């Protein structure tokens, strides 16, 4: 799996903490950790917000 098209996320289970590598197409979907079976929601891509300190105009 190419690292450019891969999302890396840590399993939220405190007893597992395995790093999961899932394809970009999984964003917004749920996947199951192969190590412990916990269902993990893959977050949507982060959007860049406007700088709050920058003045408009």
Q: List the domain boundaries for the chain.
A: 6-41
What per-residue confidence (pLDDT) applies to 45?
81
Per-residue b or e along 1-19, where b marks 16 or more CB atoms closer than 10 Å to that residue's CB: eeeeeebebebeeeeeeee
The more confident residue out of 21 and 2 is 21
Percentage of the chain with pLDDT > 70? Answer: 75
Q: Look at residue 1 and tell me whether its pLDDT is greater than 60.
A: no
Span 10-33, pLDDT tens digits: 999 999 999 999 999 999 999 999
């Amino acid at each position: 799996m190419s690292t450019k098209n891969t999302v890396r996320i840590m399993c939220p289970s405190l007893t597992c903490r395995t790093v999961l590598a899932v394809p970009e197409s999984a964003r917004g979907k749920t996947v199951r950790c192969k190590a412990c079976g916990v269902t993990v929601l893959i977050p949507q891509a982060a959007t860049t917000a406007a700088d709050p300190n920058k003045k408009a105009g």
